[in-house]
Structure 1
């Protein structure tokens, strides 16, 4: 074959055609519903043939002195469509005349498109490199002779045995540390919504770690030998192989879909894969189909992750501990072997099913214990059928479960373990529905069960001194709650009804209440847990979507909460929930908003719901405080009065005394020629900056301002719009950098103010490239635009709730619609969650009356829908 191919004048083209034809043949044979093991082996065999052919041509004179080896995945004969082809050329120290031939060989491989990962070493160099780096050792362990000097290859194998370098115990320890670091990169969870099928926990790398460690100790040629050495029963071996086949099929499909070595199951590909793997029953591509496909994937890696845990623990006993195992009695059901709990015999759970819960309580109560021994994990899995209705209604079992939530340590770890082993879903059947359930949106980055466990982890952190520097206010509040277990139970149930038809908060409340009653919690405690589950979103929604400077908003929220006890529980659950949804959603602004709402509500509850704040008193209080500050700064009472003479009392209600003083100094020290006045100051407590605009009122000020801020790459968090009696505007915007960072550079502050002032003077925003960009993920989650109207009877205003896909210039477009329709805008609450904009606009008509006429509301709705509909020539890009 070598002579035939290389005698042609178009050798390069013939090789390329040959490779292309083989790839097409293998692609044609691929079926997502069938095994791909023969395909990845066939690809390896074909590459062997190509390399051998090229080797014989370019290195025929040196073939007896050199060895060509496949290493890494290629060495395992596991080549996916776009896998790396890693090769090693072994040579002898005295060889000096082969360099030119090797260079020609490698160049040709690149020219025909193989792009090999190549290395050229002597055996001594291989050994030295392997001693220094266990990843090189690992690669060499999987070497395979393709062609060349077999004696040289055999000599290499002799030099890298465990008795010479990397004894199996040391290799095991290195692999454990490598896995720990790898897991940390993925936040120690396999359940990210865009998982890495190769490197993530429970992925293909976990299986490879098992193989490497096992092979290092036993020189085994296949994981099939795990059954021979007693590490796996046949059923678990078949489970391992089945999981491996699933991941191989998905990875193969990913490579073909992306035309590259892609191992990330990102949103871009999930719909196509769901369809390929039979989760779409028709041509419609529904989110539910993607969720079912991803649940299939997550449950697969959950099983592989569990097998990885069990096998590595057994390897540790065999390779590291050996005959030096330490056994100690724990109670009548368990002993500890090398720090891992083990049943005293295989009938423990049959004789006493409650031990299926007791084991986790023991782990919480004994910090010296490391976990559950692999053989007992296996027995737990076999015994899950014992957790039936009678078990769930057993009062002793109920007491054990609740007691586990009352422990001072280990709660999160043991809940994770209970979930991993299937106990949690067995004991709480409604939990089974959220195990590995994906939430197909842009702001949840974990499966529902994993998010739930992260919420409980966050709540536990509030109880620990070592985490008090992260959110000290939460740690302080936590000390004030009398029963932390109620908080943890609320965290466990807050999303338990996700995926069901209906409001998950209401449905979850029913499930939580039934659970608490069954577990004999007092009516008071039951009501707390159920109320928290029902209302776990209300504090976040109030803080982000309502004007919490309005005493009436605070009074209504305080009425809903009812007591400081409930407020403390709700605040902690809210913070833990947001931070467990997506770390990027939490910032200093949300922190400050929730603290402000907590503080104002706390004061209202302490004062008593029967004595709400009098608005006139609040206005007078802010006026007096601001006036005292201004007089200290040198302003006369006459100057202050002049600056305030055309300002309504609403202004003193909606701004703090500090903000009023800042505005007043600027206005009092400016003249008409200075307008428009644009100021900016950092608000360190809120992690944001306030932009203040004072100018003669013109219709387009809001749309011009928001368009400019958008072009400057700023995220608008809040907008307050006010017009004085003599027709000047007092507009404030709270802003962040698009990255979420605060504005803290003087040059940046000056640039923002200058750009705003210039655009307001010119009455236009110059066309330029907008620096906002919609994220790759956001393209997959278009949000249908909805416009709803509500009435605020206290302030005599209408409220527009706008939900739409976040994009550049959104607020500016809304502002232009308001100008066109003669609508007065008083304030805007801006909330962006991922790519979802949820904005509230407080408005009146031109006569300062709320807009309640349905026909008029429909006109506004249609104009907004028209303005916000995506243009065919434009791709939506992220906005403020």
Structure 2
């Protein structure tokens, strides 16, 4: 059904165009393209169109920022551009019965955001033949481009439209929203008739194609609308989802407006207002985005989030930033829209794809399955037995044959959330249903996600409701807190499945030892539940977890473990990434905090699931190695007994023995091994693994104990190892890190030693910028560059290149702390600062520039923030004195800032 005719001028469009001037321009008549004055006339018209469009856009932008209704603004902009298009058409294309100018797509709906394309169809009669004014049409299109219009256009006959529409659902969709701007209405009517549902894409087929299109689109955006920089148009719950509903409505009911769904009893009035309100909010955000970006930008980028929040009136509070408040409103809006979209598409499916005879299976007194979808047997079911609200999700998880929930029951859940009060939360039947859901072998994540989408999870756990849609304005957490929490549960579930063995190689083995996985899921649900409240979220969350476990009637020892896991959920990650795991003291400290292998197993699994659920790119082979090394070392310490800590002498003896056996097996001469090892400091034998000692020894012996720069990939760990053994020199560590920075390589850790022969013995673990091992070509180039740089022995300039776009929107104060470590003969320098290109080489230059020595480095990046740990000593190989620490802190800040 077409929207025949042109747009009426909205009130808000008043004075945005000078209609008198447009009339004067039109009165000038057709431009004779083959005439002598054509070039001047086209240039004059182009300038007029550009100036008029710019003026209209400026007026409408001012009115938008002043708070005028965005629905009116968007329609007003479409109206304004329509007047200018018609002027251009009338000045260039003579009137003919067999040619028409048609607005399609969003422009056909009368909607036009600042960066949106003006979608046009130049429609031709099939019999137009040689009478087609090709030159004039080409001039019209070129003129609009030259005048700065974003144009999307096609030139087709009526039959070509039908042929394209039959092949492509996108074309069909655009043509459905056709609106005649100029020409004979009969031409458009013929096109609409042969592309109607009676001819092609009947309503059921159209619905199925659009549903499939939406599913594919959602998958492209990771199945979640809750990314740091969501796409407000294409993501789940976005504008495209609303349009999908509109298109299906138009195709099936031939209704031009979503209110037709209320008339046909597919939507309640309340749902309709939710839908329109959500659309209005997303339109405000999109209009603001286009204005600020100066282009068609539908990603809510960090570049614009703060300014939009400010312009929309949000202000920072003590516990939550203005930008976080704005984004939480955004995420909650798209969650409501996603729920409405799901409910409506389910209703459409039930109506359009109705079977001749329903297949009904009774499940119990309250529920039945209709064609595979769970539904209430009686509309009063929830009111009569509120615990059925929770029972529904347990049934869905328990019965794998159930495909989902009927639309009427989804609506009933939403309408009965008022029943979820303290009496409901303390009802043993409700809590037993929830616990049984967590105990199911399948469907736990899916149903928790469904509970969250339908609003029950937030109602049942009010603390969880506080984190729904809550973002953390940083680059480390790429999802909202509630979505991250559910992803952690999903990862824990994946540990049980063989198909994720490659991504989580060790977790599956450990998971098999877990007797009650539901305790892990509870820890996951509560691990971040207190974020945004102020105070330590892990401590507050532990209290919440223990109280909730009491409601579930979980045994005291088990609820204590769940609370402990929430309290210490960051311990393993922080220890593995920030501390030297070759030092038995660090392992002993960690093991003493954990206490037993049962806690260790649970903490390991929760840690892996948490890291992998924070950012899909964050979990890699290097992180896997760090966490697994700590798990193994702590497990050994716990089995050996905490009263019998592993001593360094034992570590040294085991490392030497293992490496020696391997080297002799390879045919390396014993005297060469002994000569080389005799030059190494004792720390080498407890700070290097047997594998590292074997490889470095083999490389040095092969070079004749002279300059050795070697590199190898360590594929299982996802890193490359670099050995630099050259005559020691001032600033060597800074030189090496500078070359690595120049080549865009990231350092994960470094061990810096000096032999009795005066050679460096520096071992680095490095990755490329994508988190992979260094490829052979770059490895060879790095060795050559390092050979030249270490031979020159002169300071190098800092790397100067732009950092990633996202980093520019965050500030992290540089904080330097010190802790003396007499056992290792140095001082631990812990540095927190903003990430930037060349960061490590700047820090290294600051340290060595003060005449200090670096013995080890541990590099951890958390989004825009870097946390580096160095072991340094003074020229006397002793811990730093207070004046030295003060001077180093000042120097580091100077070099970084």
Q: Which moved more, 1:600-609 or 1:518-527?
A: 600-609
Give the 5 Å matches for 1:758-837.
758-764=788-794, 767=797, 773-837=802-866
Residue number among 744, 750, 760 corresponding to 1:719 in the alignment: 750
Cα distance in 2 for partners of 1:327, 1:138 equals 35
Q: Give the equivalent residue in structure 1 for 2:653.
A: 620
Whole-Å Cα distance in 2 between the matches of residues 371 and 264 of structure 1? 31
**Structure 1, residues 436-481: CA drift from partner, whole Å, max 9, x if none?**
0011001111100000001101111111233334323211111111
Report how far residue 551 of structure 1 moved: 1.8
Cα contact 1:214–1:315 (8 A) shared by 2: no
Out of 51, 75, 83, the residue aligned to residue 17 of structure 1 is 51
* Secondary structure class of the residue paired with 1:341: strand
Whether 2:738 is the aligned partner of 1:707: answer yes
Matches within 5 A, 1:64-463: 64-95=97-128, 96-97=130-131, 98-280=133-315, 288-321=321-354, 324-463=357-496
TM-score by length of 2: 0.93
Aligned-partner SS, 1:405: helix
Task: Verify the 8 A CA contact 2:245 2:341 in the aligned structure 1.
Answer: yes
- Name the structure 2 match of 1:510: 543
- Partners of 2:229 and 2:593 lie apart in 1 by 38
Moved more, 545-554 or 341-350: 341-350
- Shift of residue 505, structure 1, vs aligned partner: 1.0
Moved more, 569-578 or 372-381: 372-381
Contact 2:731 2:795 in 1 (8 A): no
Task: Give the alignment partner of residue 775 of structure 2, picking from 734, 738, 744.
Answer: 744
Once residues 324 and 153 of structure 1 are traced to their aligned partners in structure 2, the CA distance between those partners, rounded to angstroms, is 41
Match of 1:63 in 2: 96
Q: Measure, in 1, the Cα distance between the counterparts of 2:660 and 2:369.
A: 71
SS at match of 1:586: coil
For the residue of structure 2 that corresponds to 1:256, the secondary structure is helix
Instruction: Give the whole-Å Cα distance in 2 for the aligned partners of 1:80 and 1:630.
Output: 70
Instruction: Note the residue ranges of structure 1 that are not aligned, 5 or more in a row.
Output: 870-880
Contact 1:357 1:397 in 2 (8 A): yes
**Which ranges of structure 2 fall in alignment gaps of 5 or more residues?**
1-22, 32-39
Mapped to 2, the partners of 1:632 and 1:148 lie a distance apart of 89
Shift of 1:796: 4.1
Other-structure match for 2:709: 678
Q: Which moved more, 1:380-389 or 1:699-708?
A: 380-389
**Which residue of structure 2 lines up, in the alignment, with residue 872 of structure 1?**
none
Task: Quote the Cα distance in structure 2 between the aligned partners of 1:422 and 1:611.
Answer: 52
Distance in structure 1 (CA, Å) of the matches to 2:605 and 2:611 = 10
Change (3 A) 1:281 1:626: closer
Shift, 1:793, TM fit:
5.0
Matched, 1:38 2:66: no
* Partner SS state of residue 720, structure 1: strand
Farther off after superposition, 531-540 or 815-824: 815-824
**Cα root mean square deviation, aligned:** 1.9
- Aligned to 1:531, what secondary structure does the other structure show? helix
Bigger mean CA offset, 92-101 vs 691-700? 92-101
1:732 to 763, 772, 795: 763
Structure 1 pair 388/34, CA: closer, same or farther in 2 (3 Å)? farther
Matched-pair contact (CA < 8 Å) for 2:46–2:144: no
The answer on 1:863 being equivalent to 2:891 is: yes
TM-score relative to the length of structure 1:
0.95
Deviation at 1:32, TM superposition (A): 6.5
CA change 1:768–1:452 in 2 (3 A) is: closer
**Distance in 1 separating the partners of 2:698 and 2:822:** 34
Q: What's the offset of the Cα at 1:483?
A: 0.6
Distance 2:690 2:465 in 1: 52
Alpha-carbon offset, residue 401 of structure 1: 1.3
Give the number of equivalent residue pairs: 861
Q: Deviation per CA, 1:580-617, whole angstroms, max 9, x where unpaired?
A: 11111121111111111111222222222222223212
Contact 1:32 1:277 in 2 (8 A): no
Q: CA deviation at 1:824?
A: 2.6
Q: Single out whichever of 636-645 and 311-320 deviates more from structure 2.
A: 636-645
Work out which of the residue numbers 674, 694, 701 in structure 1 matches 2:725: 694
CA contact (8 A) 1:45 1:77 kept: yes
How many angstroms does 1:33 deviate by? 4.2
Q: Is residue 40 of structure 2 the alignment partner of residue 26 of structure 1?
A: no
- For residues 709 and 454 of structure 1, the distance between their equivalents in structure 2, rounded to whole angstroms, comes to 35
Q: Does the Cα contact within 8 Å between 2:457 and 2:464 map onto a contact in 1?
A: yes
Change in CA separation of 1:293 and 1:815 when aligned onto 2, cut-off 3 Å: same
